[in-house]
Amino acid sequence: MNLVVILVSPRNPLNIGAAARAMQNLGCQTLRVVNPYHVAFREAVSAVSAAPLLKAAQEYPTVSEAVADCSVVVGTTSIGHRELQHPLLLVEPGAKLIRKARGKAALLFGSEKFGLSNDDLSHCQWLMRIPTVDQSRSMNLGQAVAVCLYEIARRDKAKPISMEKYKPATMGQIEQITQMLLDAGRRSGYVNPVVGTSTENKVRRMVRRLHITGRDVSMWLGILRQVLWKLEGNSK
Amino acid sequence: MNLVVILVSPRNPLNIGAAARAMQNLGCQTLRVVNPYHVAFREAVSAVSAAPLLKAAQEYPTVSEAVADCSVVVGTTSIGHRELQHPLLLVEPGAKLIRKARGKAALLFGSEKFGLSNDDLSHCQWLMRIPTVDQSRSMNLGQAVAVCLYEIARRDKAKPISMEKYKPATMGQIEQITQMLLDAGRRSGYVNPVVGTSTENKVRRMVRRLHITGRDVSMWLGILRQVLWKLEGNSK
């Protein structure tokens, strides 16, 4: 992923560290900071847990210099009251465009308090936002970075994974379990011999509604065998 | 979104606050905590910036109680060395399943340091993970919550797949069945008291793989109650 994350005027060392950690988790290597609050930046870089890519982060005095080698420049916003002059995409279609970028793509995040300024935004080609609820739009910086990078890294057509990882039990095994369960029902008095057939059918249907997998058959048989053995002892 | 976020044994007030903020941003209302580090939890709740849903968060002593009214229970993991006993889905197909859940769905996040324990995991039906890079799998708690909720809230363009015809049993019912089955296992000698815990977890996972529907609960309870009653007679 030829993506550069640019934090503009970040103020909080924990957020800088969190952004770097999300980048590391999600496979984005290049971090740049523009005009950071220096105490915070130094603190973040010198933290014991600092990601290597944070230690390698480069600092720029202006957005213009930070994006100079990029061919796509995208700003992030939670759009509040400001009137936006840019095309605005939700993060999903936006991420698709970023993945298609040729050359370096820059993704800008503004300061925790004010976001990107109009001046910062003027360096962007378009803007992207995470679909948050209207009453609570402004996300934590580290979390916004995580969500954007997740969406950019996400496979376009994620393969649907089947839940049924394991083969179902065969009908012979299912019936064996059914019979043992019925046996337990009889020995314990649950199945009444007089109206037994209808109860038997109910139990049989119920067992077939379960998704018993092949690998669970032996455990079922083990439990039932043991229970039957104990129940038998009782009827002697 | 009928989703409950459950933080199990969280240690860091900033992470608890960040998780709550992400929930607020992404439209998820219900937060539960299990066995939190109390100093941290109180600090998080009393923070000036605490989200209202954090102040309303309910505390539970065990995972079992926290998920009792949920019909789908999903754990999150970054899978390290542990051998997983559950189906594991990436967050995208996982989110799709969660969106389709009938009734409440619970999404569990483990402690910052250790993730979910094997005992916690035994209450889950399947697991979900965020596709991180192999060298850096473990995500910050607040960021992991943000990414999962983002993916769950994201509009799904795929066709809805037909749902199960019957409502699933609630997790409280499933656990009741599990406990009675374990009781039968103990009374019959299937569950060895010495190595009991691992067998218990195996049985718990197995029951959760069954997809027991609400309408079958009473039959299960009926059979098990009768079997237990009879087994008890035998041990006198």
Residue of B122, B147, B156 best to disrupt the A interface, most CBs of A under 10 A: B147
Instruction: Tell me what pLDDT residue B1 has.
Output: 65
Cβ atoms B31, B20 nearer than 8 A = yes
Q: Mean pLDDT, to the nearest integer, of B119-148?
A: 91
ipTM of the complex: 0.73
Name every chain A residue with its beta carbon within 8 A of the beta carbon of B144: 146
Choose the closest CB to A153 out of B26, B131, B181: B131
Find where tokens 């539960």 sit.
B32
Which residue did the predictor score with more confidence, A220 or A195? A220
Instruction: Tell me what pLDDT residue A109 has.
Output: 97
pLDDT in tens, A130-184: 999 888 888 999 999 999 999 999 864 444 444 445 677 787 888 899 999 999 9
pLDDT in tens, B202-211: 888 888 888 8
Instruction: Tell me what pLDDT residue A148 has.
Output: 97
Question: Which of A91, A108, A92 has the alpha carbon at shortest distance from A6?
Answer: A108
Q: Which residue type does A162 have?
A: S
Distance CA A56, CA A53 (A): 5
Q: Which of A33-37, A90-94, B163-167 has the lowest mean pLDDT?
A: B163-167
The residue in chain A having the minimum alpha-carbon distance to the alpha carbon of residue B141 is: A143
Distance from CA of B218 to the nearest CA of A (A): 11
pLDDT at B75 over 90: yes
Q: Which of A50-54, B81-85, B123-127 has the lowest mean pLDDT?
A: B81-85
Do A223 and B97 lie within an 8 Å CB cutoff? no
Q: Which residue type does B145 have?
A: V
- For residue B220 the two structure tokens come to 């299960």
Instruction: Tell me what pLDDT residue B81 has.
Output: 44
Residue B183, phi then psi, degrees to nearest 5: -60, -45
Instruction: Tell me what pLDDT residue A59 has.
Output: 94
Q: Mean pLDDT, to the nearest integer, of B204-221?
A: 88
pLDDT in tens, A43-66: 899 888 778 899 999 999 999 899
Q: What is the CATH number of domain A3-153?
A: 3.40.1280.10
Do A163 and B14 lie within an 8 Å CB cutoff? no
Instruction: Tell me what pLDDT residue A161 has.
Output: 44
pLDDT confidence bin for A83, thresholds 50/70/90: low
Which residue did the predictor score with more confidence, A212 or A163? A212
CA dihedral (A16, A20, A21, A24) in degrees, to 10, reads 180
Do A226 and B190 lie within an 8 Å CB cutoff? yes
pLDDT confidence bin for A190, thresholds 50/70/90: confident
pLDDT at B82 over 80: no
Rounded to whole angstroms, what are the CA distances from B107 to A113, A153, B16? Answer: 30, 23, 15
Do A140 and B189 lie within an 8 Å CB cutoff? no
Do A188 and B229 lie within an 8 Å CB cutoff? yes
Rounded to whole angstroms, what are the CA distances from B148 to B71, B74, B91, B131? Answer: 19, 11, 7, 11
Instruction: Tell me what pLDDT residue B83 has.
Output: 65
Domain map (residue ranges) of chain A: 3-153, 171-235
Average pLDDT, chain B: 86
Do B203 and A226 lie within an 8 Å CB cutoff? no
Average pLDDT, chain A: 85
The residue in chain A having the minimum alpha-carbon distance to the alpha carbon of residue B219 is: A203
